[in-house]
Amino acid sequence: YVLTQPPSVSVAPGQTARITCGGHNLESKGVHWSQQRPGQAPVLVIFYDSDRPSGIPERFSGSNSGNTATLTINRVEAGDEADYYCQVWDSTTDHVVFGGGTKLNVV
Amino acid sequence: EVQLVESGGGSVQPGGSLRLSCVASGFDFGSYWMHWVRQIPGKGLVWVSRVNKDGTTTDYADSAKGRFTISRDNAKSTVYLQMNGLKAEDSAVYYCVRDDTGAFHNWGQGTLVTVSS
């Protein structure tokens, strides 16, 4: 199973960033999103398409429909600059699959 | 507070072995599946392996199958990754991860493995 993400997304501070993750019939799977700031371990920001772990700002939201899941970050801040990875469980192979990652540039 | 602390990384020659350990605290270790994920510096995340709550079920990425073995000791709140027959392409930071109903809620800080002659 393959998850496809754009290599990079650029957004100005205060604007809305949308990062996509594409996969065949993705809406049938639960999609998770992790944020990885430079030099740090990943942090879960969205799980099961649209749930937010405690401590994650409400600015972060997620959706999943058809073949595309989307991570949306409202009112982007400089501190949101990071790599973002989508992730699913592939029950056909019993493997976890990550997307290639998207670098969010706040410019 | 959930903590995952990896150790055991280092430099090894091709064909060599390493055993990574991850000591967990702050949660009921025996109630969660645990995973290992690796990342070549500057590259993306790659899933390596997982183990179920009591250690009786394991799964591996194709790149790890037959060479790596995941295990756990619930009495010590520790998960292990035994890596044999190491190759240069196994060089990466290895993260220990707690799986809460399928989502990776907690990650360790990682341990660096370098395979080089």
How far, in Å, are A45, A46, A62, B22 from residue A59 at the CA level? 10, 11, 10, 33
CA A83-A87-A88 angle, 5° bins = 175
pLDDT tens track for B19-41: 999 999 999 999 999 999 999 99
Q: Which of A41, A87, A89 sits opposite B95 (nearest CB)?
A: A41
How confident is the model at residue A72, as a pLDDT?
98
**Both tokens of residue A64?**
């999943």
Q: How far apart are the first and last CA of chain A?
A: 33
- The answer to whether A89 contacts B35, with C-beta atoms less than 8 Å apart, is no
Provide the sign of the torsion angle of the four alpha carbons A35, A81, B7, A93, taken in this order.
Answer: positive
| Interface mutation target, options B70, B107, B109, B112, chain A, most CBs of A under 10 Å | B107
CA nearest neighbour of B4 among B106, B72, B82 = B106
Residue B63's pLDDT is: 97
| Chain A residues whose beta carbon lies within 8 Å of the beta carbon of residue B109 | 41
CA-CA-CA-CA dihedral for A38, A99, A29, A72, to nearest 10: 50
Nearest Cβ partner for A85 among B44, B103, B106: B44
Q: What pLDDT band is residue B43 in, cutting at 50, 70 and 90?
A: very high
User: In Å, what is the CA distance from A29 to each residue of A3, A67, A72, B14?
Assistant: 12, 10, 18, 38
The span from the CA of A20 to the CA of B12, in Å, is 38
DSSP state of B87: -
Q: pLDDT of A73-86, one tens digit each?
A: 999 999 999 999 99
Q: Tell me which residue in B37, B61, B103 faces A48 most closely, judged by beta carbons.
A: B103
pLDDT tens column, A12-64: 999 999 999 999 999 999 999 999 999 999 999 999 999 999 999 999 999 99
Question: What token pair was written down for B30?
Answer: 């025996």
Say whether residue B107 is in contact with chain A using an 8 A CB cutoff: yes
The pLDDT of residue A47 is: 98
**Which among B61, B105, B110 has the least Cβ separation from residue A95?**
B61
Q: Does B2 touch chain A (CB under 8 A)?
A: no
- Whole-number pLDDT of residue B88: 98
CB contact under 8 A, B47 and A89: no
From residue B66, give the alpha-carbon distance in Å to each of A7, A22, A43, B12, B116: 32, 31, 30, 19, 21
pLDDT tens across B44-102, in order? 999 999 999 999 999 999 999 999 999 999 999 999 999 999 999 999 999 999 999 99
CA distances from A23 to A4, A42, A70, B41 (A): 7, 22, 12, 25
